[in-house]
Amino acid sequence: MSTDLRPVRPAETTTTVPPLARMARFLAAVALAGATLLGLGTPAQAVPPTDVVVADTAGILDQATLKPAIEDTSFRNPTTVVVFTQRGAKDDNFNERVLAFARAHHPAWLSDDGQKWADGLFIVGIDPEGRHVGTYMGEDRKVSQDAQGDIQDSAKDLLADAQWTDGAIEAVQTGARIINRPWYLSPVTLVLAGLGVLAVGAVVVGILVSRHNNRRKFAEAVAQGDAAYTSVTLDLDATELNARTIPAESTYGALVLERYREFRAQYTRLNDQRRELDGVPKKRRSVPDGVAQAEAFAEAAVALDKLDDVIADSNAFLNHASNWDEAWDHQTRDLREDLGGIEGVLETSDTEPGEPTAATLLCFREDARASLQAWGAGLADGSMTPDEGLDAVREARARLSDLFREHAEAMITTYATSESEEELMRGQLQQAQADATRPRARRSSILTTSYPGVYYWGAASVGAGYSSGQESVYSARGGSSTGYGSSGGSFSGAGSSSSF
């Protein structure tokens, strides 16, 4: 059988600039000229901070890096910069905690009447546990709510990756560019001045970026498909040999053999798909239809590569070959990982410690771990047949899936405050479950091959879905906080916080 594994060849280098690229360059030149006319070429006054205060109560910052970077930052007016960290909880009012810390430890951060932040002050606050970032400033440094959001957003990617020091520096430097910014540097002014050029430019750039991303996705899908296709090809003879010795009298053996009967036809189609991809022109690789063609090849190749592994496991396990225990580990891997993930699910939950669904999960975990040991021993001494072992794993996974689903519902009803929020969270959980069961994401085993339409709730998908649900609900509630809570009294200083 011919196996053409030629890689996708990039287009030859040419000195001809594509029309869209030429247009993008032209629009960029026009935008630059417009910016110059608006005075963007005039540098802002460079004023270093008058003081840098670091109150790192969370112990997450590298001050040897942080302070020099902030001291080298240029503001437009003399400004005292404060970086404050404190560990809290996701549902806390971070603004209230920042104000309480200032009142207790740094009253100089407040105005004389105590109702606002002191003039010349700019505070960046970070809560690494509750995942909050806040910005606060004196009345003479005050910026709009949207601008505060821009400062906070600039640091969120870094903070989400626990790059606390870099995130704090980014927030301070972004604040320096925005605070006391002249009107002609305002984004609103620039948008109004060059709306037509920017609109057309955005469309052009969007098209260019989209095409570039599609070509990248096309190449990545082909590379993934090629790796799986090569693996299938190299194991072809061994796969056929393994299939011949799978016991057809076994329920699971018969189901796997039924899938194997399609193996040859699928391999031939895969070979044809790969040949077709070689002839796909660059233009088609830049559009969704071309990407879909490459991803279809990758999906089919990965599925076939997983199937030949299952065929090998079926032969070894069902015939109790010398490596049967390795094949058994492959069949119990998902169950063992989900049992190990129960603790993590419970830690992220907002349910009460005595929640019945949590207690049931913990009880099931201990029973299932003991059962796994007993099943392994039974398979080793012959008191349990391979089919009985697989049946036991299948029943345990189904039961654990039900328990995860019940606990997820308890988590939702505890966190959500309305039916609409509950539905929002359920939707995120269902999306996480769908992502976990995509063909390329799903791990294959004798069970999943024998019953391909059966899906189980797992620890990873419940945890990911719940976290996404919390974020969606928080965003729906407004996403940011501007008040200072009940202890803030009549305090009305400029500032806000949001989650990352």
Same domain, 222 and 146: no
The total of other beta-carbon atoms located within 10 Å of residue 331's CB is 22
Same domain, 429 and 285: no
Give dist(CA 365, CA 373) in Å, integer: 13
Same domain, 151 and 261: no
Same domain, 269 and 366: no
Q: Which of 283, 299, 319 is the last residue of a domain?
A: 319
Give dist(CA 29, CA 217) in Å, integer: 30
What is the number of domains present in the chain?
3
Residue 6 pLDDT:
44
Q: ∠ CA(84), CA(85), CA(86), 5° rounding? A: 130
Please report the DSSP string for 342-401 in residue order: HHHHHHH--S-TT-HHHHHHHHHHHHHHHHHHHHHHHHHHTSS-HHHHHHHHHHHHHHHH
The answer to the question of residue 445 being in a domain is: yes
CB-based burial label for 195 (10 Å; 0-12, 13-18, 19+): exposed
The backbone torsions φ and ψ at residue 300, rounded to the nearest 5 degrees and listed phi first, read -65, -40
Same domain, 171 and 269: no
Q: Which of 284, 319, 354 is the last residue of a domain?
A: 319
The answer to the question of residue 45 being in a domain is: no
Give dist(CA 151, CA 181) in Å, integer: 13
The answer to the question of residue 42 being in a domain is: no
Please report the DSSP string for 307-333 in residue order: HHHHHHHHHHHHTT-TTHHHHHHHHHH
For residue 110, what are the β-bridge partners?
117
- The type of residue at 14 is T
Residue 57 pLDDT:
94
Same domain, 105 and 176: yes
- Count of CA atoms in the C-beta half-sphere (13 A) of 392: 20
Q: Tell me which DSSP letter residue 418 carries.
A: S
The answer to the question of residue 22 being in a domain is: no
Residue 5 pLDDT:
43
The answer to the question of residue 83 being in a domain is: yes
The CATH number that applies at residue 84 is: 3.10.310.50
Residue 40 pLDDT:
44
Residue 340 pLDDT:
94
110-132: b (≥16 Cβ within 10 Å) or e = beeeeebbbebbbbbbbbbebbb
Q: Name residues whose C-beta falls within 8 Å of residue 52's C-beta, 6 or more positions apart in sequence.
A: 67, 70, 71, 80, 81, 83
The answer to the question of residue 232 being in a domain is: yes
- The type of residue at 64 is A
Same domain, 65 and 177: yes
The total of other beta-carbon atoms located within 10 Å of residue 385's CB is 14
For residue 136, what are the β-bridge partners?
123, 495
Q: ∠ CA(46), CA(51), CA(52), 5° rounding? A: 100
Please report the DSSP string for 172-241 in residue order: HHHHHHHTT--GGGSHHHHHHHTHHHHHHHHHHHHHHHHHHHHHHHHHHHHHHHHHHHHHHHHTHHHHHH
Rg (C-alpha) for the chain, rounded Å, is 30
Q: Tell me which DSSP letter residue 136 carries.
A: E
- Count of CA atoms in the C-beta half-sphere (13 A) of 257: 16
The answer to the question of residue 102 being in a domain is: yes
Residue 44 pLDDT:
47
Same domain, 246 and 363: no
CA distances to 81, 179, 274, 275, 308 from 4, in Å = 63, 60, 8, 7, 20
Give dist(CA 236, CA 230) in Å, integer: 10
Give dist(CA 244, CA 240) in Å, integer: 6
For residue 123, what are the β-bridge partners?
82, 136
Residue 380 pLDDT:
96
SS3 at position 246 = coil
Q: Which of 319, 345, 370 is the last residue of a domain?
A: 319
Same domain, 311 and 374: no
Would you say 319 and 381 are in contact if contact means Cβ atoms under 8 Å apart? no
The answer to the question of residue 14 being in a domain is: no
Would you say 433 and 401 are in contact if contact means Cβ atoms under 8 Å apart? no
With residue 105 as reference, give the H or E element that holds it: helix 94-105
Look up the domain containing 77 and give its range: 51-193
Same domain, 421 and 470: yes
Same domain, 376 and 473: yes
Same domain, 222 and 296: yes
In tens digits, what is the pLDDT along the chain, a chain of 500 residues? 444 444 444 444 444 555 555 555 655 555 555 555 444 444 446 789 999 999 999 999 999 999 999 999 999 899 999 999 999 887 788 999 999 999 999 999 999 999 999 999 999 999 999 889 999 999 999 998 888 889 999 999 999 889 999 999 999 999 999 998 875 555 554 455 555 555 556 666 667 788 888 889 898 988 988 998 899 899 889 999 999 999 999 999 999 999 898 888 888 888 898 889 888 888 888 888 888 888 889 888 888 888 889 999 999 999 999 999 999 999 999 999 999 999 989 988 777 767 899 999 999 999 999 999 999 999 999 999 999 999 999 999 999 999 999 999 999 998 888 888 899 999 999 988 888 877 666 788 999 899 988 889 899 889 888 888 887 787 676 556 667 877 878 888 999 998 88
The backbone torsions φ and ψ at residue 307, rounded to the nearest 5 degrees and listed phi first, read -65, -40
